Amino acid sequence: MSANTMDRLVYMANQIGTFFSSQKHDKAVPGIAKHIKDFWDPRMRARMEDHILGGGAGLLPIVLEALKTLPPVKRDTIPAPRPTLDPPGPTATHHH
């Protein structure tokens, strides 16, 4: 996974943390965790788990705390990424 992808996941997690930070700590931590558990793809959560094992650089302390409360992702159930047959971008064909 590219560093750019991890930077994006850290940014997204911190945005969630910022949103919930207006709540009291005992509500914010489970709120962050629930949002990530409910809305993040298991692949995204697995990447974040790996990032946390590597130190969790860039994560807000409240986000790191919330992420550590989540159960581990069952990696054997994560489907393998499928290659895109028609990737977006300047070489993409447009169907009208």
What residue ranges do the domains of the chain occupy?
3-72
Read off the pLDDT of residues 3-45 as tens digits, 9 standing for 90 and up. 688 999 999 999 999 999 999 999 999 999 999 999 999 999 9
Whether residue 54 has pLDDT greater than 80: yes
Whether residue 60 has pLDDT greater than 80: yes
Contacts 24+ apart (CB under 8 A), 81-90: 81/43
Measure CA 87 to chain center: 22
CA triple 12-17-23, angle to 5 deg = 150
Length of the chain: 96
List, in order, residues 6 or more apart from 44 with CB less than 8 Å away. 9
- 61 phi/psi in degrees, rounded to 5: -55, -40
